[in-house]
């Protein structure tokens, strides 16, 4: 287990600094229900560490290949959304998705994206049945106690799909008879204009045999502004120039809020039964590619009036005797998404071909059961079974403002059932050495696959399905009280989405119901520990052999089909350090190097996009006087490959001539940031700072520059 401690004189700012005290045993051995306000029922299993253990983001992490972003780190470094917060740890980067018109963020864990790395909330997977295109910037961090990130090795006990790892958002739980927290903040651009505000409020109570809690988190941003270094793309001959003139970024408004309610019953020191309800709602614009005027088909005038998620879950833990336990999860999820495509930048008319109002109205239900025992000395055996049903419903209102060509499709339904059975055994060779082995069998089937077109009307595709056998093993040696070395191998599969199976991509693709799963074998050799009394660190080298990657293959001059054709390998290393140099000064940081090679037979010169070859995060904290803490930090990234999404004909032909390749490297960047925190009283603190202090003009995806210098001010009160 990894316990959080405060260094003398450091206060709340350094509560995220952890020292490593590794122990391994059955889940029944470690049940501190009130640890640091972390909702332990919602933590995912970490092989090689007792459930309930966690670690600090940059220089820690429990078990095999894991890192944790703490609540204090998210506050100190002003990370309001999930995609921003994960950039604090090595091996992980949040970025824009390659399809820029969707204005979505993706997260890559050692080169694996949102389709290969499941997202969970309190251990319950959030999966969008149609295409699982999660937008990670919609997930606010105000009510999160920690973000667990498993890299490469994600335990088979936590369900199917962990081909490249797993991300879990763990909520808060009250630990005092009465507690509350209030936060508020504002944002300003590089010209001093008010951009938006955010707020968070929580109230809770922990009594002897029960607890209750409620919270609300909101982020409302009217716009963000480009760097002063941005210049509009110039006109070339008949080309009219960029639609983005600089300053306030067109289409950059977002509104998000989330409500989180929790009630639990704790009849004794080990058992716990909890009901959780979460509802979040979002709306957003979509900034246009600055090189396209008018936008190509990949960058149309799109708006999302709704991006909503709702979760209801029951979680329990029951101890059976002194050496066994039983855990259950039951859940019901709802997802509603509305997308509108317009004719032009006025966002009023929807009469042209390809303009629509689209609705997704999805839900999922299911559950899991997990049991573990240490009835046999020196051995921990665990088993889990997961079952879920996903229901996708969609409808398009095509060309809604056209008096002649307006048509409304009937609702179409696609349903899917997935289940997984898993077994994991840990053999405690000695008190300091563990051998872990896991195996699972996953299976899915398509129960309904409806589609609609003007010629055939409502019809159904052939139903698909597949199964997969997964295995993993690890060895952990704790060669001193606070140091360990480990080696792991994990062979996992990922099933295709309904979109990959059946989408016709506006008539340009042929469905493939027989599409098989992707697969990766991940190898990792790692070390973590306390080097000196004031210095700790981690280091890991990793290699992934990826097979049967899913890719759209050109099968005719006008159509493609999604097939399992790609092979490749991802490899690299990462390291992190944290040092408490004195009572007033602390430094830390991490570094990642990664290469991704993918062989592809359908796209000449194919490049895997979205991941920089090198990435680093460095920070220092100086406390000149007890209440004041100054924390500058640097976010550094080398360039990365990006798609060049532009047509070859018409007004965009000059742009294709200027960017002839299908892929381009976006520029490297170094973002300087600073946060100043002042503890006014024991319960109240003020903070303010600057992001992108040097106002650097940079891109994560071709044609989509990122925010320039941004100022913020905030306050929080904890009682």
User: In the predicted model, is pLDDT for residue 50 greater than 90?
Assistant: no
Residues 6+ apart with CB under 8 A from 481: 21, 22
CA distance 158 to 599: 31
Domain total in the chain? 1
694, 709 contact by CB (below 8 A): yes
CA distance 497 to 451: 15
What is residue 31's predicted lDDT score, i.e. its pLDDT? 39
Sign of dihedral through CA atoms 162, 164, 165, 166? negative
DSSP string, 248-315: BPTT--EEEEEEEEEEEE-SSSS-EEEEEEEEEEEEE--PPPTT-SS--TTS-EEEEEEEEEEEEEEE
CA distance 351 to 347: 11
Q: What CATH number does residue 8 fall under?
A: 2.40.170.20
CA distance 355 to 362: 22
Strand partners, 522: 490, 544
pTM above 0.85, yes or no: yes
73 sits in which H/E element: helix 71-76
Reported as a pLDDT band with limits 50, 70 and 90, residue 150 is very high
Range of the domain at 242: 2-718
User: In the predicted model, is pLDDT for residue 224 greater than 50?
Assistant: yes
CA distance 171 to 321: 29
CA distance 354 to 405: 11
Reported as a pLDDT band with limits 50, 70 and 90, residue 706 is very high
Backbone phi and psi for residue 365, each to the nearest 5 degrees, phi listed first: -145, 155
Token pair, residue 695, equals: 């106002």
Helix (H, G, I), strand (E, B) or coil at 75: helix
User: In the predicted model, is pLDDT for residue 28 greater than 70?
Assistant: no
User: In the predicted model, is pLDDT for residue 158 greater than 90?
Assistant: yes
489 sits in which H/E element: strand 483-494
pLDDT in tens, 252-271: 999 999 999 999 999 999 99
Sign of dihedral through CA atoms 456, 458, 459, 461? positive
What is residue 653's predicted lDDT score, i.e. its pLDDT? 75
Tokens 């933590």 — which residue?
Answer: 43
Strand partners, 177: none
Backbone phi and psi for residue 362, each to the nearest 5 degrees, phi listed first: -115, 160
pLDDT in tens, 358-384: 999 999 999 999 999 998 889 999 999
What is residue 298's predicted lDDT score, i.e. its pLDDT? 53
340, 356 contact by CB (below 8 A): yes
What is residue 62's predicted lDDT score, i.e. its pLDDT? 52
What is residue 239's predicted lDDT score, i.e. its pLDDT? 62
Which of 290-294, 356-360, 392-396, 498-502 shows the lowest mean pLDDT across its residues? 290-294
Burial label for 604, CB within 10 Å (0-12, 13-18, 19+), is exposed
What is residue 660's predicted lDDT score, i.e. its pLDDT? 84
CA distance 686 to 473: 47
pLDDT in tens, 639-693: 999 988 776 666 677 777 788 888 999 989 999 999 999 999 999 999 999 999 9
629, 620 contact by CB (below 8 A): no
């Amino acid at each position: 287990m990894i316990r959080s401690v405060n260094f003398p004189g450091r206060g709340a700012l350094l509560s995220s600094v952890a020292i490593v005290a590794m122990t391994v045993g059955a889940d029944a051995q470690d049940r501190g229900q009130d640890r640091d306000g972390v909702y332990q029922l919602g933590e995912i299993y970490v092989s090689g560490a007792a459930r309930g253990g966690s670690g600090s983001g940059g220089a820690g992490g429990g078990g095999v290949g894991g890192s944790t972003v703490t609540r204090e780190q998210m506050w100190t470094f002003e990370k309001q959304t999930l995609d921003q917060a994960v950039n604090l740890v090595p091996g992980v980067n949040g970025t824009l998705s390659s399809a820029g018109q969707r204005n979505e963020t993706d997260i890559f864990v050692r080169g694996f994206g949102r389709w290969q790395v499941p997202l969970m909330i309190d251990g319950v997977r959030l999966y969008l049945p149609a295409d699982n295109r999660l937008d990670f910037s919609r997930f606010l961090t105000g009510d999160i106690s920690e973000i667990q990130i498993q890299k490469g090795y994600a335990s088979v006990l936590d369900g199917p799909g962990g081909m490249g790892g797993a991300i879990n958002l763990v909520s808060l739980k009250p630990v005092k008879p009465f507690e509350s927290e209030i936060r508020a903040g504002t944002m300003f651009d590089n010209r001093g204009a008010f951009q938006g505000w955010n707020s968070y409020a929580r109230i809770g109570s922990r009594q002897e045999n029960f607890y209750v809690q409620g919270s609300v988190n909101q982020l409302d941003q009217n716009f963000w502004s480009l760097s002063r270094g941005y210049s509009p793309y110039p006109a070339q001959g008949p080309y009219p120039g960029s639609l983005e003139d600089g300053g306030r970024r067109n289409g950059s408004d977002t509104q998000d809020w989330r409500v989180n309610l929790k009630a639990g019953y704790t009849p004794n020191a080990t058992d716990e039964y909890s009901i959780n309800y979460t509802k979040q709602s979002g709306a957003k614009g979509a900034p246009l590619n600055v090189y396209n005027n008018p936008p190509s088909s990949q960058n149309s005038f799109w708006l999302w009036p709704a991006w909503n998620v709702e979760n209801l879950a029951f979680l329990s833990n029951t101890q059976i005797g002194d050496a066994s336990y039983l855990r259950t999860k039951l859940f019901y999820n709802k997802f509603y998404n509305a997308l509108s495509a317009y004719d032009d930048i006025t966002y009023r008319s929807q009469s042209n071909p390809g303009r629509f109002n689209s609705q997704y109205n999805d839900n999922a239900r299911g559950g899991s059961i997990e049991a573990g025992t240490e009835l046999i000395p020196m051995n921990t055996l665990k088993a889990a079974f997961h079952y879920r049903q996903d229901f996708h419903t969609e409808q398009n209102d095509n060309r809604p403002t056209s008096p002649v060509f307006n048509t409304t499709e009937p609702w179409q339904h696609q349903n899917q059932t997935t289940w997984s059975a898993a077994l994991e055994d840990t053999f405690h060779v000695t008190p300091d050495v563990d051998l872990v082995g896991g195996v699972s069998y996953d299976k899915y089937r398509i129960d309904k696959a409806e589609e609609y077109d003007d010629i055939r009307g409502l019809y159904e595709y052939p139903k698909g399905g597949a199964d997969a056998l997964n295995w993993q093993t690890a060895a952990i040696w704790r060669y001193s009280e606070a140091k360990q070395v480990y080696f792991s191998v994990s062979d996992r599969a990922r099933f295709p989405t309904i979109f990959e199976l059946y989408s016709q991509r506006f008539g340009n693709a042929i469905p493939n119901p027989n599409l098989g799963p992707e697969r990766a074998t991940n190898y990792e050799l790692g070390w973590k520990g306390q080097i000196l009394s004031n210095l700790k660190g981690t280091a890991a080298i990793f290699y992934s052999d990826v097979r049967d990657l899913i890719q759209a293959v050109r099968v005719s001059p006008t159509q493609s089909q999604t097939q399992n054709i790609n092979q490749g390998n991802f490899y690299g290393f990462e390291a992190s350090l944290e040092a408490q140099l004195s009572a007033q000064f602390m430094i830390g940081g991490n570094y990642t190097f990664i290469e991704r090679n993918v062989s592809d037979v359908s796209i000449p010169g194919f490049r895997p996009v979205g991941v920089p070859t090198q990435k680093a995060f460095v920070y220092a904290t100086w406390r000149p006087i007890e209440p004041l803490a100054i924390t500058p930090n640097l976010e550094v990234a080398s360039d990365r490959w990006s798609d060049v999404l532009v047509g070859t004909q018409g007004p965009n032909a000059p742009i294709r001539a200027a960017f002839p390749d299908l892929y381009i490297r976006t520029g490297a960047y170094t973002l300087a940031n600073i946060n100043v925190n002042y503890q006014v009283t024991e319960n109240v603190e003020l903070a303010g700072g600057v992001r992108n202090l040097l106002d650097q003009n940079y891109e994560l995806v071709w044609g989509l520059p990122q925010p320039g210098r941004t100022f913020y001010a905030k306050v929080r009160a904890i009682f």
